[in-house]
Every structure is written in structure tokens, then in C-alpha cells.
Chains A and B, each alone.
Chain A
Amino acid sequence: MEEFKKIKIGWFSYSCCEDNTVVMTEVLNNHWQEWKKIFDFRHVRVLKKNNIFDEFDIAFIEGAVASEKQEAEIKDIRSRSKKLVTVGSCAVIGIPAGNRNNFTEEQHANIDFLVMKFGAFPKVKRVSEVVKVDVEIPGCPMSPENFLEKVNLLVAEFKQHA
């Protein structure tokens, strides 16, 4: 029987508080031994230094899209990934990272010079506005149970097609 090829994982954070990254590292507490066997953590900056940016079976995107640079990166990740999964509210609905989308004129007057100075979009976008998303895991943060359920479904799918 052919050995199961490890599933290549990418984990990328954009405009957000990285709460889903913390949840993922907590889920790791009970699943690290199993995940070490089935996942190739190819590009997960929170876990390792030498990250490889080539191709991914599953790319997880956390955070909203705040700039052209981020949009271009996410499109690039999409082109390298068989499945793209958004995790957390900022990625799925663009909020709360996109607080400023709902600001009053007075509030905009206080912040717009900073938005422009750092080359951010006038309006923050959710990930599905810039690329096709295969699976969405909402929540602020995502629930560990929902995350595990979706990950297990994807693993089963990859194992079936291995």
C-alpha cells in the first residue's frame, strides 16, 4: 500500500488580531501527535522559521484584506492552493478589522491620513471579495470544535483522493 502523502498546510494572517492562530495552537495541544503524521506544515510562521512558499493542499487565511499588497498575496496563495479556507470573522465578513468601513465622516477625518500614508484600501475587504473561498469557518474567534470538524472533513477528502 502506498504511503499517505502528507497534506501541505499554509497558514496566513492578514488584518486581524490573530485570535484564530491562538485557537489553532490550542487545538494543537490535543492533536499535535496526529497532525505531525498527516500534515506538512509548509508555511506556518507562528510555528517555524524556515517556511516554504510553493504549493499548498490547504491554505488557511485569517484576517481581512486591507491593502493592494495583501490582495495580491492572497491571490497568489489562491493560485497555489487546492483548497482555501477562511478562518474567523475578519476573513469571513471583514469585521472587526474593518471597523472603519462604518465610520462617520468625522471619524474618517481623524484617520484617513493614516489610511493613505500606509497605502491601505479606503475600505477593508473580506477575503471572498478577492478570491474564491472553498470553506468558511466564522467566529470571533472560530470555535475549536467547528475548526476541527472542517479540518477533519478536508483531511478525509484528501485521503479519499490520495
Chain B
Amino acid sequence: MHSFDLSMEHITKIEGNASLKLKVEDGKVTDIKFATDEYKRFFTEAMKGKDLVAIPQHLARICGTCSNSHIMCSIEASENALDIKPTEQTKLLRTLVMNGLMIRDHALHLYLFSMPDIFNKDAFLDFDESDPYQHQLLHDGFEVKSAGNFLATLIAGRSVHATYPVIGGFLKFPDEAGIAEAIQKLQNVRSGVLRLIEVFKNAPFHFDRKTKYIALVPENSFGYIQGVIGASDGQKIEEKDFRDHLEKTVIPYSQAVGYTYEGEGYMVGALARINLAKDKLHPKTKESASEVLNLFPSTDIFYNNLAQAIETLHCVDESIDILSNNKFTPEPLIKAEAKSGAVGIGVIEAPRGTLYHKIIIGEDGKVSGGEVIVPTGQNQINIERDVAVLVQNLLDQSNSAEAQLDKDKIVFEIEKLIRAYDPCMSCAAHFLKVEWL
């Protein structure tokens, strides 16, 4: 029977620094610790004393990868605190900001992080350009990423730490030439996104995992900003009540904090969103991906990748639709004074799952406190448990076959599974106040 300690100091091709420690005694996994090694940067403590107007840009610095979703969530929380209702044009522009982020971020994860595992390559750049299929995927990858980056830059000013979206509206508006170019780029990558869906539909990796799924479920069309928090057990939770349903769980060895829902681990992210709201996807997406959508709802964690690919298609289709059928004209910002004691909550779907921001206004009109709950913190408990099950399964197979255990294979299988969750460790290590004892 196998006994060993496994220590993975740096898990590669994920966002941020994560480590994993595993103990196996007599063929059984007896201990596992999945942790972030990012040092806390105390962003929620640093909110205190700031003007509300500074908070979206401040909280964006929690994470470069997800920065625009932190901006959008923080703007929503701020506007709820100020009782500002955004205009219809602002809502459309925000949808485009999120779509640009999703295309760029999902493409980074799917092509550069996860796809090399399928093709048994060390890196996406190692794909064989003399092989027509791999050559095509290489070009697809950078073109899809580039289209998302262009859309985000056109609408939001930058694809990282966006400068145009602010509390009450936008500082700048897309021009006709930019809109035409964005439509062209998005149309050009659509066939590549369909190939992307095929790659992850046919990927040979599977890990079945029964769990609850939580996501913001829109009332009408699929999206990332509006809606009610829905769970796979059928429960609907208003955004303002979110804290009554999530319990904070201290993970003493990690600089991040985990969460449970109704006492159990749960999953957020693209898989949860497609499981709960696939019927609301853009009509063109539903038409083109009808066969693959029959695979959902799914309990296969690796289908989180497939769900991201489907979402990428939705964001391409919806963005072409919005850009082609709307005129954007300059609008003044909606302004309001921060009132003492006001509390604003923002809930949106970031690429990796549900993101919560809470902002409290103090007596002096400045921010007196807040809270941020990130997707990876919510997935962390499931990730850890799933890795333990995965390794135990590999050990059982190895023991029964009396085969030599290949530690490199275990490490590879662990990394693949963790990548399927697409964790963001920069987000996970932002400050959350913890009572340790």
C-alpha cells in the first residue's frame, strides 16, 4: 500500500499562486490542504475612509484578471447605496463590458491554460504549426482573445482596470468606426469559437461530482449583471439577502477564506450558470450549440470548460446583436450624494462565478466598511474535496492493479482538475477579516 507526502508548491497555468499538500497513508488520502500563497493586500480594510467614487477602481486592484468584474460589481453596490438607477444605454454598455471580459478571460483559460492538457503539450505556444488542426487552434486562440480585448477596450477604455465605466454611467462612448471594427472582429472569430466548443465537447477528461450550483439567474436573457441568485436546489435568493445563506469557513493554512451554502460546499462559475440558465442564452448561440447544450445540466466538473466555451459564443453573438442594433450617444452621469448609514450590495457573475460586494457609508459620508466575496473562495472547499476523491480513485486503481504508482500522473491529474475550476488566487487572497480562534 502506498504512503507518501505530495507537495505542489506552485500550480501552473492558473491565475495567481496556489499550492497543495497531500498526505497518503496505507493507500488512503488522510490529509489535504489546497491553499493560496498570495499575501493578503487588505483591500476591504483599505476601503475605510475613502470617498465612494474611488471604490470601484480601488477594488479592481484585487485582481487583474477579473478587474472589470470587480469594477462592475462595485459600481452596482455603490449605485444601490446611492439609489441610482442606470439608464438603458448604460445597462447595454455594461453588458458589453462584461461580454468583452468573458471572451478575453475564458479564451485565456481555455486556450492557454487548459487546452495544452488535451493535446499533451506543455504550453499553448508548443502547438505544432505544421499540423493544420493545431495551427488553426493557435491562430483561433489569439484571435478570440484579441477580439475580446478589443471589445473591452472600445467600451471600457481598457480590458484591465477599465477607465470608462463609473458610478452613474460612462465617461466615454464608442464611436461608429470602433463599433464597426468590433462587429467585424467578433464575426471573424465566431467559427473559431465553434471549434473551441468542439474541442472541449470531445475532451477525454471527466470528473463526476454531485454538488449544489449557485449563480445569478437573469429574468430574461442570459447575462452577468442582473437577476436573482438561484441555486440548483430551487431556492431563489434576493441579492440583498445573500449573506443569510452563505457561511464563512476559516481555512487556517490558507490566506483565503472558504464559504458553504446551507452547510455544504457548492460550486459557482460557468458550469453553474449554464446548468441554471442555458434556456436564456442568445438565440443564435442556442441554435449553433443545440446539440452540446443537451449535455447540461451536468455534474461533470470538466464541463466547466465546455460551459465557458458556450458562454464565449453567447458573448460574441449578443455583442454583435447589441452593437449592430443600437446607437450610442453621450449621456451625463447620474449623480447622488452618499447618505450616512447607507448600505449597497452588488452581485454579479464574474468569469469564475458569483461575486459579491458590500459597501457601507459612514456618518461622515465616506466609506466606513465593506465586504467582498469572490468566486474562488466559494469553490475552494469543493476543489479540495474533489482533489482528495480524485487521488483516492487513482490510488484505488493503482492498488487493485498492483501497478506502480506514477506520482507525475497524480500531479498532472490534480492540476487538470484544479484548472477545470479555473481558480483565481489573486482574488481569493484579498482581505477578509477572520476570527481564527
Real complex partners, A and B?
A: yes
Interface residues of chain A, those whose CB is within 8 Å of chain B, are 13, 15-23, 25-26, 28-30, 32, 36, 41, 45-51, 66-67, 70, 96-97, 99-100, 103-104, 107, 110-111, 113-115, 117-118, 120, 140-141
Interface string of B111-144 (1 = CB under 8 A from A): 0100010000011111000000000001000110
Interface string of B34-46 (1 = CB under 8 A from A): 0000111111011
Interface residues of chain B, those whose CB is within 8 Å of chain A, are 10, 12-13, 15-17, 38-43, 45-46, 48-49, 58, 61-65, 67, 104, 108, 112, 116, 122-126, 138, 142-143, 145-146, 149, 158-161, 255, 415, 426, 431, 433-434, 436
Shortest distance from the beta carbon of A158 to any chain B beta carbon, whole Å: 20
In Å, the complex CA distance between A48 and B121 comes to 9
Q: Contact at A100–B124, with CB atoms within 8 Å?
A: no
In Å, the complex CA distance between A103 and B63 comes to 21
Q: Contact at B45–A22, with CB atoms within 8 Å?
A: no
In Å, the complex CA distance between A120 and B65 comes to 24
Residues of chain A with a CB closer than 8 A to B433's CB = 110
Residues of chain B with a CB closer than 8 A to A21's CB = 64
A13 contact from B17, B125, B142, B161, Cβ within 8 A: B17
Could you count the A-B residue pairs with CB atoms below 8 Å apart for me: how many are there? 134
CB pairs A–B below 8 angstroms (14 shown): A15-B41, A18-B64, A21-B64, A23-B160, A25-B108, A32-B125, A50-B122, A100-B46, A111-B42, A113-B436, A118-B39, A118-B255, A120-B40, A141-B64
The verdict on A49 contacting B125 (CB below 8 Å), with A15-B41, A19-B67, A114-B434 known, is no
Q: Contact at B12–A17, with CB atoms within 8 Å?
A: no
Q: Contact at A32–B17, with CB atoms within 8 Å?
A: no
In Å, the complex CA distance between A118 and B43 comes to 17
Q: Contact at A140–B161, with CB atoms within 8 Å?
A: yes
Residue of A nearest to B38 (CB): A15
Q: Contact at A17–B426, with CB atoms within 8 Å?
A: yes
Shortest distance from the beta carbon of A114 to any chain B beta carbon, whole Å: 6
Residue of A nearest to B40 (CB): A114
In Å, the complex CA distance between A140 and B108 comes to 20
The verdict on A18 contacting B13 (CB below 8 Å), with A23-B160, A49-B415 known, is no
In Å, the complex CA distance between A41 and B104 comes to 22
Q: Contact at B434–A45, with CB atoms within 8 Å?
A: no
| Given A46-B12, A48-B125, 18 further pairs, Cβ under 8 A | A13-B17, A15-B38, A22-B160, A26-B159, A29-B149, A30-B142, A32-B142, A46-B15, A47-B112, A50-B122, A96-B58, A99-B42, A99-B45, A99-B46, A104-B49, A118-B39, A120-B40, A141-B64
Residues of chain B with a CB closer than 8 A to A48's CB = 12-13, 116, 122-123, 125-126
In Å, the complex CA distance between A141 and B65 comes to 11
In Å, the complex CA distance between A41 and B112 comes to 14
Q: Contact at A51–B12, with CB atoms within 8 Å?
A: yes
Q: Contact at B142–A28, with CB atoms within 8 Å?
A: yes
B42 contact from A36, A47, A100, A141, Cβ within 8 A: A100
Q: Contact at B123–A47, with CB atoms within 8 Å?
A: yes
In Å, the complex CA distance between A104 and B415 comes to 41
Residue of A nearest to B425 (CB): A18
Shortest distance from the beta carbon of A25 to any chain B beta carbon, whole Å: 6
Interchain residue pairs A-B with the least CB separation, the first 5: A19-B64, A48-B123, A66-B39, A99-B46, A29-B146
Shortest distance from the beta carbon of B146 to any chain A beta carbon, whole Å: 4
In Å, the complex CA distance between A97 and B46 comes to 11
In Å, the complex CA distance between A32 and B48 comes to 42
Shortest distance from the beta carbon of A121 to any chain B beta carbon, whole Å: 9
Q: Contact at B42–A20, with CB atoms within 8 Å?
A: no
Residues of chain A with a CB closer than 8 A to B124's CB = 47
Residue with the greatest number of chain A CB neighbours at <10 A, chosen from B142, B149, B160, B431: B160
In Å, the complex CA distance between A141 and B17 comes to 19
Residues of chain B with a CB closer than 8 A to A110's CB = 45, 433
Residues of chain A with a CB closer than 8 A to B58's CB = 96
Residue of B nearest to A13 (CB): B17
Residues of chain B with a CB closer than 8 A to A99's CB = 41-43, 45-46
The verdict on A15 contacting B12 (CB below 8 Å), with A25-B145, A48-B123 known, is no
Shortest distance from the beta carbon of A19 to any chain B beta carbon, whole Å: 3
Shortest distance from the beta carbon of A52 to any chain B beta carbon, whole Å: 11
Q: Contact at A97–B41, with CB atoms within 8 Å?
A: yes
Shortest distance from the beta carbon of B429 to any chain A beta carbon, whole Å: 9
The verdict on A19 contacting B112 (CB below 8 Å), with A47-B125, A50-B122 known, is no
Shortest distance from the beta carbon of B11 to any chain A beta carbon, whole Å: 9
Residues of chain B with a CB closer than 8 A to A30's CB = 142, 146
Residue with the greatest number of chain A CB neighbours at <10 A, chosen from B39, B43, B124, B159: B39
The verdict on A45 contacting B40 (CB below 8 Å), with A22-B64, A107-B45, A141-B161 known, is no
Shortest distance from the beta carbon of A82 to any chain B beta carbon, whole Å: 23
Residues of chain A with a CB closer than 8 A to B46's CB = 96, 99-100, 103, 107
Residues of chain A with a CB closer than 8 A to B161's CB = 19, 140-141
